[in-house]
């Protein structure tokens, strides 16, 4: 599993991979990801809209779409099953990890889907080239195969509260997890899922350039949670985006595909 690629690696291989800008920002940020893409992006990349490319027939944000929708979407982007896809973002919440998770869920070869470590923030910091051109690719015939064991629903979360079959880790900040801060979505309660543990996603990335901490550092961070080694680990957050950052970090350590509570607090915390 090639979870991460460096900016140096991408610059050398830029013509041999497919690149997606998967930037997504919290509504309160007043940033427009698609507009920012038009103003400058890594060459040969296409914009991947997390909102539009998720399940539309629900009030919950960023839920996994239907298989047929995903196949049509990725085919329209001209991405083939054999393509090595690199996802990056220019977001404070490292939204590219959610798109990485989606590709894995729909069966893309785990060695052929990677996140650009540090994203556009690091790319620009190193004065690497950007483009304003939106490159078009011929349509493909992408096929997907869902990995249903990578996603959890609310019933499974409730079952786990009673039976403790897996460890659940919440990626939100400590204040939100402990109910000391109001949720950004007004329809949500404050607090956390009973029995879950807190690991803010910001603790596993370097704030200077959004790169992931070393595997040694990640191992120590997870060790502090005192997880039961005999149990699987699943991840949750506010709306299923930052949970995937923890999922990627865990995959760096053990090579396993992440397990995500798709509805996360956007579903579980509804008043």
Long-range CB contacts for residues 26-29, cutoff 8 Å, separation at least 24:
26/92, 26/93, 26/184, 27/184, 28/184, 29/92
The neighbour count for residue 148, using CB atoms within 10 Å, is 6
pLDDT computed for residue 134 by the predictor: 85
259 token code pair: 């397990």
113 and 160 assigned to the same domain: no
pLDDT computed for residue 29 by the predictor: 87
Domain that holds residue 82: 4-125
pLDDT tens-place string over residues 108-152:
999 999 999 999 999 999 999 999 988 899 999 999 999 999 999
Gap between the Cα atoms of 174 and 180, Å rounded: 8
Domain boundary among 74, 90, 125: 125
State the average pLDDT over residues 195-214: 96
120 and 152 assigned to the same domain: no
Question: Residue 99 in contact with residue 48, Cβ under 8 Å?
Answer: yes
pLDDT computed for residue 193 by the predictor: 98
- Cα distances (angstroms) measured from residue 210 to each of 6, 38, 188, 241: 12, 22, 28, 15
pLDDT at 96 over 90: yes
Gap between the Cα atoms of 226 and 230, Å rounded: 12
86 and 28 assigned to the same domain: yes
Higher pLDDT, 27 or 46: 46
Is 137 contained in some domain?
A: no
Which of 19-28, 149-158, 184-193 ranks highest by mean pLDDT? Answer: 149-158
- Which of the residue ranges 9-18, 181-190, 251-260 would you say has the lowest mean pLDDT? 181-190
pLDDT computed for residue 3 by the predictor: 93
State the average pLDDT over residues 52-66: 95
pLDDT computed for residue 184 by the predictor: 86
**The Cα angle at residue 89 between residues 172 and 225, in degrees rounded to 5:** 30
Question: Residue 177 in contact with residue 242, Cβ under 8 Å?
Answer: no
Quick check: helix, strand or coil at residue 184? coil
pLDDT at 179 over 90: yes
Quick check: helix, strand or coil at residue 270? strand
Residue 21 banded pLDDT, cuts 50, 70, 90: very high
State the average pLDDT over residues 237-258: 97
Gap between the Cα atoms of 39 and 124, Å rounded: 13
Q: How many domains does the chain have?
A: 2
Is 53 contained in some domain?
A: yes
Q: Which residue has the tokens 């404050």?
A: 190
121 and 152 assigned to the same domain: no
pLDDT computed for residue 108 by the predictor: 98
77 and 164 assigned to the same domain: no
pLDDT at 50 over 70: yes
14 and 121 assigned to the same domain: yes
Instruction: Please list, in sequence order, all residues whose beta carbon lies within 8 angstroms of the beta carbon of residue 131, skipping any fewer than 6 positions away.
Output: 40, 41, 42, 43, 44
Q: Out of 237, 241, 252, 260, which one is annotated catalytic?
A: 237
Known active-site residue 244: no
Residue 28 banded pLDDT, cuts 50, 70, 90: confident
Higher pLDDT, 184 or 69: 69
pLDDT at 1 over 70: no
Percent of the chain with pLDDT over 90: 93
Q: Given the DSSP bridges, would you call strands 45-47 and 166-170 parallel, antiparallel or unpaired?
A: unpaired
9 and 95 assigned to the same domain: yes
17 and 99 assigned to the same domain: yes
Gap between the Cα atoms of 269 and 271, Å rounded: 6
pLDDT at 185 over 90: no
97 and 175 assigned to the same domain: no
Percent of the chain with pLDDT over 70: 100
Provide the CATH number for the domain around residue 188: 3.40.250.10
Domain boundary among 91, 125, 159: 125
């Amino acid at each position: 599993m090639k979870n991460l690629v460096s900016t140096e690696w991408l610059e050398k291989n830029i013509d041999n991979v497919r690149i997606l800008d998967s930037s997504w920002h919290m509504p309160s940020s007043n940033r427009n990801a698609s507009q920012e893409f038009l103003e400058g992006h890594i060459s040969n990349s296409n914009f991947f809209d997390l909102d539009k490319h998720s399940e539309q027939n629900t009030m919950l944000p960023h839920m996994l779409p239907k298989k047929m929708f995903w196949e049509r979407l990725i085919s329209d982007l001209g991405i083939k099953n054999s393509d090595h896809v690199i996802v990056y973002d220019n977001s404070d919440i490292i939204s590219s990890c959610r798109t990485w998770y989606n590709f894995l869920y729909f069966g893309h070869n785990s060695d052929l889907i990677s996140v650009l470590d540090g994203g556009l923030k690091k790319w620009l910091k190193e004065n690497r080239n950007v483009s304003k051109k939106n490159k078009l690719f011929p349509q493909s015939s992408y096929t997907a195969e869902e990995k249903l064991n990578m996603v959890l629903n609310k019933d499974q979360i409730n079952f786990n509260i009673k039976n403790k079959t897996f460890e659940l880790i919440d990626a939100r900040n400590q204040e939100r997890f402990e109910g000391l801060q109001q949720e950004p979505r007004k329809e949500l309660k404050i607090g956390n899922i009973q029995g879950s543990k807190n690991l803010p996603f910001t603790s596993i990335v370097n704030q200077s350039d959004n790169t992931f901490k070393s595997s040694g550092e990640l191992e120590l961070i997870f060790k502090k949670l005192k997880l039961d080694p005999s149990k699987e680990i699943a991840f949750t957050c506010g709306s299923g985006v930052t949970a995937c950052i923890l999922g990627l970090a865990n995959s760096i350590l053990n090579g396993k595909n992440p397990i995500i509570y798709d509805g996360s607090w956007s579903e579980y915390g509804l008043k």
